[in-house]
């Protein structure tokens, strides 16, 4: 053991002499001249709540019984306990709590002399760098083992000091106090104050592993057995029974990794069984498009979509490459490791690919606005006739094969058809043209608050009366409509929650009633021409409808998707990119796709029947589809052929 330092000469010294750089001796305090902190009802117990770490029995027997010598304290005449310096920030940062790891408030650390600042900065390097509160360390030779309970500065000492709670008692130990000032609390004779740089990690335990970079781990050898192939040839989606056989099982779909479920569920919904969004895969490159745009399109087409359709599986390394491109293009550091929303991902992806917007929507008489998705903003009350606010006295309908609850306490239910109509009517919106693909975001706020207990994804979406400058039928006589009325849409006496548009005659008759005399009808925008005013008789023509092909759902910050893979009501697949996991933190997520035909019969229910469902009777997949829907995807296959 190195020899201890001689006591200082009896000359007046204003501050505690600094530790010599060659010494590893601890600092010990004399008997305090001022009383310790009182223990009150609000104070923590006198000992640390956790049992101190004990070395193995053989090591403990080999430890010397002689306590290490310590520096003698300065003459007490120089102490001025009544004068305290102003508080200073404690190591490691001022953002941390002012209480120590064992519950005691940390005392303020005095400021160090200005002449010692450069020496302190130079000295705070070495073995102690990287140690923190709770680190298991060893000090002196032969080593004494303990745990760091406090780190800070002490007046007159230029370097950071660590308060260590030792495993074994020593003669020079304290109870966590120094010069009458308590810095932490521990059993008597186990507290030791030493320079932080004199502490070393406890050699009895292996050094902590370097945290693996999970972003780069996708390209490691460990991911090799989870890899997927590149497919250059265009591969159309499969459908019907073939799709069920192709995708069903474990290690199917898109593998999740590092909060990627938002991306996995969205891509699987868009491309696994539908080609309406394939235009984004084949947009011809333009001169102004950057290298990231062309790389992203090739990656999406050849590394993700084509392999998914041919082999039914895509590994996480492919989607991570796409996430890196999104991060580089948008300067958003969260795309590779943080949770995102499907709409944020789709907007950034389509901007990166420089694709034309999917939707063109006109507000009143303004120019059409372009966007990629539409957020439903219905009024505060559901426009559906099955809503309890509108139909409080619903009676049970005919016998249903699905268990129904009593008419008391109905669920708040709305269909996507009713929500879209209500949102467009109350916002004065119209589609400037029929979309080939329509992503609709359900009305909810954040991940928790939902406006409805359940939302019924309409299997078909009729947007005929939501198109701008198109011929529309009168709601009463089916003749050419010239007027529409928002107040009639909300009227409880005439089929509430239904679009109301009238010809000249019916508009006059409907608004002759005293209840509707104050309504303000508006002209319907229709193709111009003299024939429009001279039209007589019913208006023929087909309706413009979109079909539901996928639903993305969220529960507890995790996204999954339901995909329709055929024309039958039972043709539904459920996909979860993180259905299972192999290994711990450095393991792998196992994706799964499975058939869920049970959801088909629920989607065929009316809103009234759905509002009377017994929630306890719902299977997990049905509940997630009806109660946790986040985004519904619709398409028109006929328009997709040429648009």
Q: Which residues are catalytic?
A: 261, 558
- Provide DSSP, 340-381: --HHHHHHHHHHHHTPPPSEEEEETTSPPEEES-EE----SS
Cis preceding linkage at 216, omega within 30 = no
Q: Where does 286-436 show beta strands of DSSP type E?
A: 313-314, 359-363, 369-371, 374-375, 413-415, 429-431
CA 222 – CA 229 distance, rounded (Å):
16
**Which residues on neighbouring strands pair with residue 369, listed in sequence order?**
361
Q: Is the dihedral of CA 74, 78, 83, 87 positive or negative?
A: negative
| Beta carbons of 424 and 499 less than 8 angstroms apart | no
Exposed / middle / buried, residue 37 (Cβ in 10 Å: 0-12, 13-18, 19+): middle
- DSSP state, residue 433: S
CA 590 – CA 252 distance, rounded (Å):
8
| Token pair belonging to 510 | 């409907």
Q: Name the 3-class secondary structure at 129.
A: coil
CA 486 – CA 494 distance, rounded (Å):
12
**Residue for token digits 């359940």?**
454
| Token pair belonging to 351 | 């901007």
Q: Name the 3-class secondary structure at 15.
A: coil
Rounded to the nearest angstrom, the gap between the alpha carbon of residue 433 and the centroid of all alpha carbons in its chain is 34
**Residue for token digits 């979109």?**
546
CA 342 – CA 577 distance, rounded (Å):
14
Residues in contact with 551: Cβ distance below 8 Å, sequence separation at least 6, in sequence order: 269, 457, 561, 562, 625, 629, 631, 632, 633
Q: What's the Rg (C-alpha) of the chain?
A: 36
| Beta carbons of 382 and 389 less than 8 angstroms apart | yes
Q: What is the 3-state secondary structure (H, E, C) of 499-552?
A: CCEECHHHHHHHCCCHHHCCCCCEECCCCCCCHHHHCCCCCCCCCCEEEEEEEE
């Amino acid at each position: 053991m190195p020899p201890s330092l001689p006591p200082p000469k009896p000359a007046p010294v204003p501050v505690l002499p600094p530790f010599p750089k060659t010494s590893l001796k601890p600092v010990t305090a004399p008997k305090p001249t001022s009383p310790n902190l009182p223990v009150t009802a609000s104070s923590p117990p006198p000992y640390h709540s956790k049992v101190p770490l004990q070395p193995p029995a053989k090591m403990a027997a080999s430890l010397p019984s002689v306590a290490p010598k310590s520096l003698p304290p300065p003459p007490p005449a120089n102490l001025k306990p009544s004068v305290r310096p102003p508080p200073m920030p404690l190591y490691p940062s001022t953002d941390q709590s002012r209480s120590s790891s064992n519950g005691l408030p940390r005392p303020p650390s005095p400021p160090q002399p200005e002449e010692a600042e450069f020496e302190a900065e130079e000295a705070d390097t070495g073995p102690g760098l990287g140690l923190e509160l709770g680190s298991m360390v060893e000090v002196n030779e032969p080593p004494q083992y303990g745990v760091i309970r406090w780190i800070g500065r002490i007046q007159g000492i230029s370097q950071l000091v660590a308060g260590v709670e030792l495993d074994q008692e020593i003669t020079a130990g304290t109870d966590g106090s120094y010069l009458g000032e308590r810095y932490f609390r521990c059993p008597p004779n186990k507290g030791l104050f030493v320079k932080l740089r004199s502490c070393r990690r406890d050699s009895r335990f292996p050094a902590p592993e370097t945290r693996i970079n999970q972003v780069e781990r996708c390209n490691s050898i460990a991911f090799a057995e989870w890899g997927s192939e590149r497919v250059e040839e265009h591969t159309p989606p499969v459908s019907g029974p073939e799709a069920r056989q192709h995708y069903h099982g474990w290690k199917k779909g898109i593998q999740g990794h590092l909060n990627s479920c938002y991306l996995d569920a969205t891509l699987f919904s868009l491309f696994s069984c539908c080609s309406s969004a394939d235009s984004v895969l084949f947009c011809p490159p333009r001169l102004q498009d950057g290298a990231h745009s062309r790389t992203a399109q090739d990656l999406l087409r050849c590394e993700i979509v084509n392999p998914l359709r041919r082999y039914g599986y895509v590994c996480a390394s492919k989607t991570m490459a796409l996430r890196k491109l999104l991060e580089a293009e948008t300067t958003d550091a969260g795309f590779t490791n943080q949770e995102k929303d499907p709409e944020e991902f789709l907007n950034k992806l389509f901007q990166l690919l420089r694709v034309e917007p999917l939707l063109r929507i006109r507000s009143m008489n303004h120019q059409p606005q372009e966007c990629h998705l539409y957020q439903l903003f219905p009024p505060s009350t559901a426009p559906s006739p099955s809503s309890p606010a509108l139909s409080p006295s619903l009676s049970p309908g005919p016998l249903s094969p699905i268990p129904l609850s009593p008419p008391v306490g109905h669920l708040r239910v709305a269909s996507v058809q009713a929500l879209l109509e209500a949102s467009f009517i109350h916002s004065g919106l119209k589609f400037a043209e029929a979309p080939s693909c329509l992503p609709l975001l359900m009305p909810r706020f954040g991940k928790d608050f939902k406006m409805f207990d359940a939302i019924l994804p309409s299997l078909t979406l009729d947007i005929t009366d939501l198109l701008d400058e198109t011929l529309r039928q009168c709601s009463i006589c089916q003749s050419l409509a010239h007027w529409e009325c928002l107040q009639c849409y909300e009227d409880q006496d005439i089929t509430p929650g239904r679009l109301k548009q009238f010809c000249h005659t019916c508009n006059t008759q409907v608004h002759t009633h005293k209840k509707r005399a104050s309504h303000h009808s508006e002209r319907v925008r229709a193709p111009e021409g003299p024939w429009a005013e001279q039209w007589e008789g019913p208006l023929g023509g087909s309706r413009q409808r979109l079909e539901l092909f996928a639903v993305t759902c969220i529960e507890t910050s995790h996204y999954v998707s339901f995909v329709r893979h055929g024309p039958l009501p039972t043709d539904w697949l459920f996909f979860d990119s993180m259905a299972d996991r192999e290994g711990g933190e450095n393991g792998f997520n196992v994706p799964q796709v499975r058939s869920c035909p049970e959801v088909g019969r629920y989607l065929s229910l009316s809103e009234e029947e759905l509002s009377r469902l017994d929630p306890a009777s719902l299977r997990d997949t049905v509940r997630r589809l009806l109660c946790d829907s986040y985004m519904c995807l619709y398409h028109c296959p006929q328009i997709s052929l040429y648009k």
